[in-house]
Amino acid sequence: MKRKKAAAGSAETSLRDEAVALAQRLLENPTLRETVDTLLSEAASAPEAVTTKKRRCGKCRAKLVLLVPIAGIGALAASAPLRSKVLDALFGAEEEFEYSPPTDGPAV
């Protein structure tokens, strides 16, 4: 148990040391700062690209809205047990009767 905690602690310190080293390089290197600045500005304009993609995906949703009911109808047509379950859910289970023939009684 102590070994696992020690390994986790050393992993955290190595990650922290690596992050500090990267931050120092970022502060010292002007080219790296410009690259990071460019990436951040591109990321700021990314939501515009996402909204454009959402508009184009409206056709995908329309296809999906049509495909799901058609697939459901196909599944109902192909599977008798599924069809009976759906009908039981919609209209209730079919009542079962025990038939007993009438006994011979006095004729009127």
- 90 burial type by CB count under 10 A (0-12 exposed, 13-18 middle, 19+ buried): exposed
C-alpha–C-alpha distance, residues 108 and 105, integer Å:
9
Residue 108 has a pLDDT of: 59
pLDDT in tens, 26-49: 778 888 778 877 877 777 776 665
Query: Which of these, 21, 29, 50, lies nearest to 37 by C-alpha position?
Result: 29
Average pLDDT of the residues of the chain: 77
Rounded to 5°, the CA angle 13-19-25 comes to 140
Instruction: Name residues whose C-beta falls within 8 Å of residue 76's C-beta, 6 or more positions apart in sequence.
Output: 82, 83, 86
pLDDT in tens, 64-104: 888 888 998 888 889 988 888 888 888 888 777 777 888 87
Residue 9 has a pLDDT of: 62
Neighbours of 98 (CB within 10 A): 4
Rg (CA), the chain: 35
Mean pLDDT of 15-22: 80
Residue 4 has pLDDT above 60, yes or no: no
Residue 94 has a pLDDT of: 78
Q: How far is CA 80 from the centre of its chain?
A: 29
